[in-house]
Amino acid sequence: MSPFNRYDIRGRLGIDLDEAVAYRIAQAFAAVTGAGAVVLAQDSRESSPALADAVASGLTAQGVRVLDLGLAGTEEMYFATAHLGAGGGIMVTASHNPRDYNGMKLVGPGATPLSDAEFDRVRDLSGEVIDRLPGGCREDARGTRAAYVAHVAELVGVVGPLRVLVNSGNGAAGPTLDALAEGLARRGALLDLVRMHHAPDGRFPNGIPNPLLPENRPQTEAAVRAASVDMGVAFDGDFDRCFLFDGKGGFLDGEHVVALLARAQLALHPGSAIVHDPRVIWAVEDAIRRGGGRSVLAPTGHVFLKAAMRRSGAVYGGEMSAHHYFRDFMRCDSGMIPWLLVAGLISAGGDSVEDQVRALRRDFPSSGEINFTVRDTVASVQRVRAELAPQARAEDRTDGLSLDFGDWRFNLRASNTEPLLRLNVEARGDPDRVAREVKRLRQLIEAH
């Protein structure tokens, strides 16, 4: 089944994925999990309603009670799965992929990830004929949003006064943001929200909502500057990720957002563990040390971050790719909680976003992620290690290859889904050093 990736299901419509395939996957999911009730949600893509109908049909054909959230975010599916005590959850989404893609995200009870064995069994069983079972039904569960709003509001506390531009990218975020804003206001929050590309529109007339790509940021940057706001937020399609901008329109790099969120969570939970990926770490480790917390490394990917959080009891886990996980949110990723916590930091301390990250940018400059297309990722990493490891002070293999030279370090890792090597370089207070080492590593990688 070509739509199956390492972590979820994603593919091109009419080629990898259609209603018939979605029906079989849903049947297989029900058979593998044995779930009596499954939460279902969908993003704003034009193809999502038909695919969600097919998923619902496949689930009810296995006797499952389908709890339908309708248009919602992935984090709402996570929350509802745990809150309603369902045996699993399915989100129909392709997140930030082009319009001709769609897919599904699958979770088990309590919104926990499926095990590798379960996921593989769903893939294998979806190619087989499964007997129908009686008793299935589809129920309207959209009222669960009120409980989600109450839970998020409890986690973030009172925020403001603050003026924030929010770009929903015509994805699923708009209606949820409106409900959340109302719930926060009832609890005393003072948020003046400037809404941009707010209405869900699966044609994505203003471009695919993927703010991780630099070419997709100028609209938000310009709008932030024009609106005279304290900060800006942009969501991806299913809003399980948010991307932050300071009050001058400057984009906040992923490691700086993780550092800010570590600071916010340690203020609420002193001495806690914080899990983060090993790509860019010094700004994050500095924030954790200053906050009296404990740093825990985990490989990139939600399955690994969530597992590390469970092992360590961490209150928060963050990836520089803008996935942020919270112990008190089922250890799941959320796109709404992070920006509200950062807004709370600004409200409590009086410092602007620029002030919050200025020292991090100065003390720990980094390259941003650089991708290389190579024939053999393993051999390429081995060549780099053979050349540079003898000069390093420390080596770490948590995820790919990390070498620490004292005043600079790098992480080089293979993509989980593409024939790419991903490079990140950082230094201590020396941006010129970052540029020199990127050049050296580029030459070393591209020479082969």
- Neighbouring C-alpha atoms within 13 Å toward the C-beta of 216: 19
What one-letter code names the amino acid at 146? A
Is residue 380 flagged as an active site residue?
no
- Neighbouring C-alpha atoms within 13 Å toward the C-beta of 181: 16
What one-letter code names the amino acid at 172? A
What one-letter code names the amino acid at 64? V
Q: What is the dihedral of CA 231, 237, 239, 243, to 10 degrees?
A: -30
Cα-trace Rg, the chain: 22
d(CA 302, CA 296): 15
SS3 428: coil
The answer to whether 10 touches 3, Cβ cutoff 8 Å, is yes
The answer to whether 448 touches 385, Cβ cutoff 8 Å, is no
CB atoms near residue 359 (< 10 Å): 12
The answer to whether 198 touches 174, Cβ cutoff 8 Å, is yes
Token code pair at residue 434: 């970052």
Token code pair at residue 414: 């293979």
The answer to whether 80 touches 69, Cβ cutoff 8 Å, is yes
Who's near 86: CB < 8 A, 6+ residues apart?
35, 37, 38, 39, 67, 80, 109
d(CA 340, CA 233): 10
d(CA 117, CA 122): 9
CB atoms near residue 301 (< 10 Å): 18
What angle separates helix 336-349 from helix 254-268, to the nearest 10 degrees? 70
Catalytic site residue from 44, 48, 95, 347: 95
The answer to whether 271 touches 293, Cβ cutoff 8 Å, is yes
Active site residues: 95
